């Protein structure tokens, strides 16, 4: 267990500034847990007493909307999960569920807050992360509402390819109905649009395996709907 934190991406970025005693505090107050695909990591409505850091894997962040559950975004390791929902409110304001097997580190909230207070650089780093993520959420929301489904779907495919899997060929980590949810469309629409992309030779699909054949076209679709 000793020095586990030292090598964890959780502290890596601010490591140079974390003192040994602070590292030790983290060492003694964290727990690493394995989650299987489909497992719930953070559940909206429950008390949150831990900061959650995704060490490996892929998750979806989702929130209960006025009519139905809605996927806000996918998040891949390494990243903090639910920083806002943990610090901003005692009760989780959204849920996080593994969409691939994941490894998660739970850090006691009080310890985390103490380290945050004791370490300027660390708190600066967290503030910066929070700011960026809020900006990102504004952008995402604007896209989602302005673009029509075709464009949003293209965005999801591009995002999966470029940011999540870093390859033109990958296996869809979520169902078509989840994709629909993520782009504010019905499962049927997603299906029809995917077929269309196949017919147009822009992607190739075999089951959930997808290959992007023409990224250019996809980007055009992203831009022009």
Burial category of 217 from C-beta neighbours within 10 Å (exposed 0-12, middle 13-18, buried 19 and up): middle
Judged by CB under 7 A, does residue 70 bind DNA? no
In the complex with a copy of itself, the residue whose CB is nearer, 7 or 137, is 137
Contact between 177 and a copy of itself (CB under 8 A)?
no
The reply on whether position 195 binds a copy of itself by CB under 8 A is no
Candidates 118, 123, 48; CA nearest to 88 is 48
CA distance 145 to 156: 14
Residue 120 interacting with a copy of itself (CB under 8 A): yes
Cα gap 183→150, rounded to integer Å: 9
User: Which residues, at least 6 apart from 44, have a Cβ–Cβ distance to it below 8 Å?
Assistant: 63, 64, 92, 93, 94, 95
Per CB under 8 A, which of residues 132..171 are in contact with a copy of itself?
Answer: 132-135, 137-147, 151
Binding mask 192-211 for DNA (x = CB under 7 A): x-xx---------x-xx---
Q: Residue 11 and residue 157: Cα distance in Å, rounded?
A: 31
Beta bridge partners, 50, equal 108
CB 71 within 8 A of CB 115: no
Q: Is 49 in the site for DNA (CB under 7 A)?
A: no
Q: Give me the 162-181 binding string for DNA, x by CB under 7 A, dash otherwise.
A: ----------x--xxx--x-
Rule CB under 8 A: which residues touch a copy of itself? Answer: 63-68, 70, 72, 83-85, 87-89, 93-94, 113, 116-117, 120, 123-124, 126-128, 130-135, 137-147, 151, 184, 223
Rule CB under 7 A: which residues touch DNA? Answer: 148-150, 172, 175-177, 180, 184-189, 191-192, 194-195, 205, 207-208
């Amino acid at each position: 267990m000793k020095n586990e934190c030292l090598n964890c991406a959780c502290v890596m970025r601010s490591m140079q500034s974390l003192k040994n005693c602070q590292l030790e505090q983290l060492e003694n107050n964290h727990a690493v847990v394995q989650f299987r695909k489909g497992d719930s990591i953070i559940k909206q409505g429950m008390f949150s007493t831990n900061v959650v850091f995704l060490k490996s894997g892929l998750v979806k962040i989702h929130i209960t909307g006025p009519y139905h559950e809605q996927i806000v975004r996918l998040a891949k390791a390494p990243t903090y999960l639910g920083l806002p929902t943990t610090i901003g409110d005692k009760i989780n304001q959204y849920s996080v569920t593994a969409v691939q097997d994941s490894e998660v580190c739970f850090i006691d909230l009080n310890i985390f807050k103490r380290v945050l207070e004791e370490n300027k650089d660390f708190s600066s780093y967290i503030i910066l992360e929070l700011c960026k993520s809020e900006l990102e959420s504004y952008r995402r929301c604007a896209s989602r509402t302005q673009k029509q489904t075709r464009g949003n779907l293209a965005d999801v495919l591009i995002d999966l390819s470029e940011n999540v899997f870093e390859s033109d060929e990958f296996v869809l980590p979520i169902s078509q109905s989840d994709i629909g949810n993520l782009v504010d469309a019905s499962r049927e629409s997603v299906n029809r649009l995917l077929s269309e992309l196949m017919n147009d030779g822009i992607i190739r699909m075999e089951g959930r395996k997808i290959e992007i054949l023409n990224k250019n076209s996809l980007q055009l679709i992203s831009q022009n709907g």
